């Protein structure tokens, strides 16, 4: 495990660049600012439901996937781009350790970067949504990090492909029907929040049970991890 | 410094015969300059996790069997075969000849489109343990920029399972004449310093196969000498060192056996001096500038060694000769005999590219 942590420590500075961190924090700040605006503007009309809808839409459709995309695709993508992957790859260690190190590095950077703004936004929306917002964000971060870390290994245009996936699949196709919704990560992160919100609010239709959500997210993470490891085993390293 | 193997023995007086190599031939090359020696084994703790694969033949470290590599329609390496034991071997060839691709296939970083690579009898792409016996200095400059050199080399040791990676990293940095206590990040280092950091990380785990892709690039003359001595010492100490270079003089200083790669093919192999002679013995084309090319040409044709002669204009004659040295020694006398002025003598095909093309075309 020490080798995994050692590699993670090297990956973290490569992905947590000042520019990326500031840009992603700004997105979170914008979300909180909009939430505060809604609360003030709608102060006379029971703002909780509207704010929860905003928290759900902004948090799980835009903020969590976007931040996860920017950070996670860089975890292995940066190593390929600057040709430093060779210094991990040509060592007598299993490739799965490289995949795990990238995943852990992504999570290490993403968790505070996502959870803190989501906490702020949930406090603006009302304290009853805090646990749901954080658990939902956690579910989303784990799933998206797995997917986008893998994506960063397959293409140098991972950001563009990932953005297309977020906008087209998660944003449009997933909302067509309940069936396509089941194939989107946002459905599970929003569903997790739905289960933990005190108010009687419909954030997602027929959310999967909490156990199903955890199983699905674990499955996504496991499959992506396996594919990443296989890819590391078979790829050409510059 | 205690990690330095003993200095190399003097070059053997009976170098291996040199041959231009048909692409399908398999030259096995015992090191003429450095008889195989047994390196002192590394501490058991450093090797304990490495399962040793049985080598295909005694002392054979590396076996390359008919490997080819193509990228789309471009053939980078074509049907190259050789096997190597301990000692220094240089891959000599012009830029784009396929040296780096060959090294990367040996390291397992890329798989051959055709053929097979075996390191200690194993496939380096699939055998995790074998990777612990390989060290590589890649051509690219990229390193973990924000790190200190000591941290970078320590990480390499850690990933190779060393017990005391920091201690070994310090020793390796001192070996390549870098300060282990330097607090600056690698991003501030010069090209030569980065090159030495790369070598330190490649040596930190006492590899038995060391692959160096243009390792002298960016070094100043003193550093080149020091690095050359280090490489020679490693080879003499039993490490199989494969060095790629496009500079003939570098290869000469390494005192190594040479494999000439050009246009993706193994064009020749053997002792450096034999390769040098092979290159010098080829036909040469020389441009001579004079005030009377016709008169000079007429006298030149009465002598021997001139295969063709072409008067280009009123002050230039181009000569093809099989003995360039004799031509250079005698041209002044010939000009005097022809009663003409000599303005200049310039070889037209002395660049390595021409040499390699000649070797490939043989």
pLDDT along chain A (238 residues), means of 10: 92 93 94 87 68 88 95 95 93 95 97 94 83 94 97 94 92 81 89 82 81 95 97 92
Give tens-digit pLDDT for B132-150.
Answer: 999 999 988 888 888 999 9
Give tens-digit pLDDT for B148-178.
Answer: 999 999 999 999 999 999 999 999 999 999 9
For residue A225, which of A87, A109, A72 has the smallest C-alpha distance? A72
Nearest-by-Cβ selection for A90 from B107, B158, B161: B107
**Chain-wide mean pLDDT for chain B?**
81
User: What is the pLDDT at residue B354?
Assistant: 67
Averaged pLDDT, B10-34: 39
Starting at the edge strand found earlier in the chain, the sheet holding B28-29 runs B28-29, B74-84, B62-71, B114-119
Burial of B30 (0-12, 13-18, 19+ CB in 10 A): middle
Checking if the pLDDT of B191 tops 60, the result is yes
SS3 B235: helix
- DSSP bridge pairs for B261: B266
Give the span between the Cα atoms of A238 and B27, in whole angstroms: 28
Number of structural domains found in chain A: 1
**Residue B50 binned pLDDT confidence (cut-offs 50, 70, 90):** very low
User: What is the pLDDT at residue B281?
Assistant: 67
SS3 B216: coil
User: What is the pLDDT at residue B36?
Assistant: 38
A9 to chain B, minimum CA–CA distance in Å?
Answer: 10
| DSSP annotation of B185 | B
A98 to chain B, minimum CA–CA distance in Å?
Answer: 11
Nearest-by-Cβ selection for A84 from B49, B110, B144: B144
User: What is the pLDDT at residue A203?
Assistant: 76
Measured between its terminal Cα atoms, the distance across chain B in Å is 46
Give the span between the Cα atoms of A98 and A233, in whole angstroms: 10
Are the beta carbons of B280 and B324 closer than 8 angstroms?
Answer: yes
Q: Where are the domains of chain B?
A: 21-31+57-278, 281-361
Give the span between the Cα atoms of A103 and A8, in whole angstroms: 8
Averaged pLDDT, B198-214: 95
User: What is the pLDDT at residue B357?
Assistant: 67
SS3 A99: helix
User: What is the pLDDT at residue B11?
Assistant: 34
Checking if the pLDDT of B316 tops 90, the result is yes
Task: Report yes or no: B155 at the A interface, CB cutoff 8 Å.
Answer: yes
Give tens-digit pLDDT for B85-116.
Answer: 999 999 988 888 899 999 999 999 999 999 99
Q: CATH fold of B21-31+57-278, please?
A: Rossmann fold (3.40.50)
Give the span between the Cα atoms of B170 and A215, in whole angstroms: 47
Give the Cβ contact number of residue A213 at 10 Å.
23
Taken in order B334, B338, B339, B341, the sign of the CA dihedral is negative
Classify residue B63 as left (phi > 0), alpha (psi -120 to 50) or beta.
beta
Are the beta carbons of B70 and B115 closer than 8 angstroms?
Answer: no
The CATH class, in words, for B281-361 is alpha beta
Strands B62-71 and B114-119: antiparallel
User: What is the pLDDT at residue B350?
Assistant: 65
For residue A145, the enclosing domain spans 2-234
Percent of chain B's residues with pLDDT above 70: 78
Nearest-by-Cβ selection for A90 from B134, B146, B155: B134
Give me the count of residues in chain B: 362
| Contact call for B109 and A91, based on CB within 8 A | no
| DSSP annotation of B313 | E
Are the beta carbons of B62 and B119 closer than 8 angstroms?
Answer: yes
Segments of B10-51 assigned E as strands: 19-20, 28-29
Averaged pLDDT, B245-264: 84
Give the span between the Cα atoms of B243 and B214, in whole angstroms: 7
Q: Tell me the chain B residues in contact with residue A88 when contact means C-beta distances shorter than 8 Å.
A: 159
| Contact call for B147 and A236, based on CB within 8 A | no
For residue A190, which of A48, A61, A68, A31 has the smallest C-alpha distance? A61
| Contact call for A93 and B147, based on CB within 8 A | no
Cα three-residue angle A118-A123-A127, rounded to 5 degrees? 120
Give the span between the Cα atoms of B300 and A232, in whole angstroms: 64
Listing DSSP states for B77-103 in one string gives EEEEEEEE-SEEEEEE--TTSSHHHHH
Name the helix (H) or strand (E) containing B248: helix B248-254
The ipTM assigned to this model is 0.85
CA B75 to chain centre: 21
Nearest-by-Cβ selection for B158 from A6, A90, A236: A6
| Contact call for A87 and B155, based on CB within 8 A | yes
| DSSP annotation of B18 | P
Checking if the pLDDT of B39 tops 60, the result is no
Interface test with A, best of B105, B144, B166 (most A CBs within 10 A): B144
For residue B352, which of B227, B225, B255, B267 has the smallest C-alpha distance? B267
For residue A136, which of A72, A211, A213 has the smallest C-alpha distance? A213
């Amino acid at each position: 495990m020490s080798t995994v942590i050692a590699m993670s420590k090297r990956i973290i500075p490569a992905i947590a660049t000042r520019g990326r961190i500031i840009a992603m924090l700004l997105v979170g700040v914008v979300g909180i600012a909009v939430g505060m605006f809604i609360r003030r503007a709608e102060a006379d009309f029971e703002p909780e439901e509207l704010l929860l809808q905003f928290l759900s839409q902004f948090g799980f459709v835009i903020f969590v996937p976007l931040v996860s995309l920017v950070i996670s695709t860089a975890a292995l993508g940066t190593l390929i781009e600057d040709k430093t992957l060779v210094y991990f790859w040509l060592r007598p260690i299993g490739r799965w350790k490289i995949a795990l190190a990238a995943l852990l590095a992504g999570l290490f950077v993403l968790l505070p970067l996502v959870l803190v703004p989501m906490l702020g936004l949930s406090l603006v929306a009302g304290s009853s949504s805090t646990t749901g917002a954080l658990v939902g964000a956690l579910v989303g971060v784990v799933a998206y990090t797995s997917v986008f870390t893998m994506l960063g290994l397959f293409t140098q245009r991972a950001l563009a492909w990932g953005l297309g996936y977020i906008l087209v699949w998660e944003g449009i196709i997933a909302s067509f029907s309940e069936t396509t919704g089941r194939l989107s990560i946002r459905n599970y992160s929003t569903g997790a929040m739905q289960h933990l919100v005190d108010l009687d609010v419909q954030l997602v239709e027929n959310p999967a049970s909490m156990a199903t959500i955890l199983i699905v997210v674990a499955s996504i993470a496991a499959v992506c991890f396996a594919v990443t490891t296989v890819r590391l085993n078979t790829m050409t390293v510059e | 410094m205690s990690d330095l193997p003993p200095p190399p023995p003097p070059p053997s007086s009976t170098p291996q015969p040199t041959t231009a190599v048909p692409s399908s031939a398999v030259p096995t090359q015992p090191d003429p300059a450095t008889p195989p020696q047994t390196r002192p084994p590394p501490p058991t703790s450093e090797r304990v996790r490495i399962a040793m694969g049985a080598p295909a033949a005694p002392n054979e470290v590396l076996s390359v069997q008919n490997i080819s590599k193509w990228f789309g329609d471009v053939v980078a390496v074509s049907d190259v075969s050789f096997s190597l034991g301990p000692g220094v071997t240089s891959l000599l060839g012009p830029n784009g000849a396929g040296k780096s691709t060959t090294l990367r296939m040996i390291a397992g970083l890329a798989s051959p489109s055709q053929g097979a690579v075996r390191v200690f009898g194993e496939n380096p792409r699939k055998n995790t343990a074998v990777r612990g016996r390989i060290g590589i200095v890649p051509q690219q400059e990229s390193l973990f920029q924000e790190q200190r050199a000591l941290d970078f080399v320590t990480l390499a040791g850690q990933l190779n399972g060393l017990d005391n990676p920091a201690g070994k990293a310090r020793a390796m940095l001192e070996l390549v004449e870098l300060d282990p206590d330097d607090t600056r990040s690698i991003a501030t280092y010069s090209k030569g310093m980065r090159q030495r950091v790369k070598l330190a990380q490649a040596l930190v785990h006492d590899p038995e196969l060391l692959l160096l892709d243009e390792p002298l690039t960016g070094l100043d003359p003193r550093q080149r000498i020091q690095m050359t001595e280090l490489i020679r010492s490693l080879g003499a100490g039993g490490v199989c060192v494969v060095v790629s270079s496009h500079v003939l003089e570098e290869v000469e200083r390494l005192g190594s056996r040479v494999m000439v790669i050009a246009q993706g093919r193994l064009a020749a192999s053997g002792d450096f001096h034999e390769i040098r002679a092979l290159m010098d013995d080829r036909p040469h084309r020389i441009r001579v500038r004079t005030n009377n090319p016709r008169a000079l040409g007429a006298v030149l044709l009465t002598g021997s060694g001139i295969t063709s002669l072409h008067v280009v204009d009123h002050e230039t004659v181009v000569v093809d000769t099989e003995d360039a040295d004799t031509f250079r020694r005698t041209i002044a006398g010939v000009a005097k005999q022809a009663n003409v002025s000599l303005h200049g003598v310039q070889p037209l095909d002395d660049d390595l590219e021409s040499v390699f093309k000649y070797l490939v075309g043989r």
